[in-house]
Amino acid sequence: MKKLLQKLLAVDDDSDSGVDVEHALKVATAVLLVEVTRADFSVERAERERVRRLLGQQFELSAAELDAVLEEAEADADRLVSIQHFTRLLNEHYDHAMKVRIVEMMWQVVYADGDKDHYEEHLLRQVAELLYLSHAEFIQARHKAEPST
């Protein structure tokens, strides 16, 4: 956890390169997606595959880059005490539209296994609030991600 906090604090330092900030933002986004897969205490293969696809598409990652980001994100999620460090980083570096996109991606992970659990929804509400999204934006993101019937 100490290493994770040092890494997040280092991103705030102006002396760091943009590449480090970009990587930290990718990992922070991945941590939130990984946390959604774990929220209902059952990580389904469909959820893991959806996380890979979303991250790969969003950040245009090669398979090797995607593996590295996910490995780091899963390790960070294993040590996670609070998501606030990650949402703070996202708030400082992402515009509003990208924060909405992250919540949409999280909803897509929720629906990947065909089941919306109340623990997953609770986590999504918490993230949306920490990213300063309105309730309407939270609902719109959910509806956008819902499977069509």
Q: Which of 9-13, 45-49, 67-71, 116-120 has the lowest mean pLDDT?
A: 9-13
Give the phi and the psi of residue 137 in degrees, each rounded to 5. -65, -40
Ranges of each domain in the chain: 2-145
Predicted pLDDT at 147: 85
Contacts of 118 (CB under 8 A, 6+ apart): none
3-state secondary structure of 146: coil
Cα separation values, 70 from 27, 74, 142, Å = 7, 6, 24
- Asked if residue 19 has pLDDT above 80, the reply is no
- Asked if residue 34 has pLDDT above 70, the reply is yes
Q: What is the CATH number of domain 2-145?
A: 1.10.3680.10
Q: How far is CA 118 from the centre of its chain?
A: 18
pTM of this structure: 0.86
Contact 35, 106 (CB under 8 A): no
The average confidence (pLDDT) of the chain is: 89
Highest mean pLDDT (candidates 77-86, 87-96, 112-121): 87-96
Count how many residues are written for the chain.
149
Region 30-57: mean pLDDT is: 95
CA-based nearest residue to 34, from 90, 3, 76? 76
What does the alpha-carbon distance between residue 12 and residue 95 come to, in Å, rounded to a whole number? 16
